[in-house]
Structure 1
Amino acid sequence: MGVGTATRRGAALLANAVRIIGTAIALVLVLHVALTLLDANPANHLTIYVAELAARFNLGLDDLFLPDEPKLAVTLNYGLAALVWFGVTAVVVRIVRRLA
């Protein structure tokens, strides 16, 4: 196996890792929005865990929009954060693959 082949394989592995991690984070944000919209029990351990994870990965967008309806606020703010994660992940994956 040549150096070029090893580099391409390494870049492909890195790109896949970035894609998986970025997508997982975005899905946590989407799950938080879904649980909020579906009135999941806020005292449930799963709901609490997802909300805490989503708060870590919301990119500071949790108070960007401040509508009167709390569900709309979660949908807009965390939904936007999920879109940003999806977009940034896609761009970084393309960059890593092109550099190889």
Structure 2
Amino acid sequence: MATSKAVKKTATKKAPTRPVPKTKVKHVAKAKKPAMRSFAPAPASEPFMTFRLTNQTLYWAILAAFVLALGIWVTVISVRVQHIYDTIDATNAQADALVIPMEKS
């Protein structure tokens, strides 16, 4: 029989351990909630019906004029198209009213 040599095992080295940092407990003060209030209307800073010209007033006026101009433009186009349909109907009615006598053979 063959003799076997004893296998030499190497000792495993352990990783150096770090000291565990101590955890500090922080006490956080909770924010106090404001006292519950009922809803109430705020006092008006200026009267409701006052009129002031601002940039926003100018923007709204320009937008309103643009919308009205587009509405008038669409109406004019609609009237023109309806007029074309009326002339076509009139010419068709004249053509239908014309009686062409057929020749007797």
Q: TM-score, normalised by structure 2?
A: 0.35
Q: TM-score, normalised by structure 1?
A: 0.37
Q: Which has the higher contact order (CA 8 A, sep 6+)?
A: 1
The structure that has the greater radius of gyration is 2
